[in-house]
Amino acid sequence: MAGNRVQPVARAIGLAVAVTALVGCYTLQPTGGPVPEVGSRVAFDVNDAGRVALGGSMGPEIDQIEGTLVQHDTSDYVVAVSAVHLLRGGDQVWSGEHVHIKPEYVSRTYERRFATGRTIVLSAVGVAAVAVLVSQSLIGSGNESTGRIDSTGQALRIPIGRVHLPHLGRP
């Protein structure tokens, strides 16, 4: 009986690892100089001159603009903005509006990159959680029939053990 259950357990664990690896963890990491490629996820830290220039269209407390780089040339970046992070901790969700940002308004550039270490840790946690859940279902809950039927047609079940629960203040 246990042999029939091992294969679904292996499938569940394999599925958990595959899904976690596909989704993965991504972080924004400084580019260190070169501009990311068009189509990549980017974030720009906005300096004071940028806050003044972009304040009329995006708000005066812009700290960071995040989105997809649509175009880049020497005069500006064009970003399909997905989020604006504010100086005092708030966030504004955007839906891909194109914004022109001049390089002199940017103090630091980030690119979204795959984080191998975080993905490995998340995968391990996911596999452990699936393994615990599946192992609990393998222990059984006493619902399987013993093969005996009483005179009324009901299956006879023999309890394996008892679970003692605290009374929680009740007599």
* Arithmetic mean of pLDDT, 38-59: 92
CB atoms within 10 A of CB 73: 9
User: So what's the pLDDT on residue 107?
Assistant: 92
Domain spans of the chain?
2-21+116-139, 26-114
pLDDT digits (tens, 9 = 90+) for 70-95: 999 888 999 999 999 999 889 999 99
In angstroms, the CA 84 to CA 107 distance is: 15
Per the rule left: phi > 0, alpha: psi between -120 and 50, beta: everything else, 66 is: beta
User: So what's the pLDDT on residue 82?
Assistant: 95
Give the 3-state secondary structure of residue 98.
strand
Assign a CATH topology to domain 26-114. Answer: SH3 type barrels. (2.30.30)
pLDDT digits (tens, 9 = 90+) for 156-166: 666 666 666 55
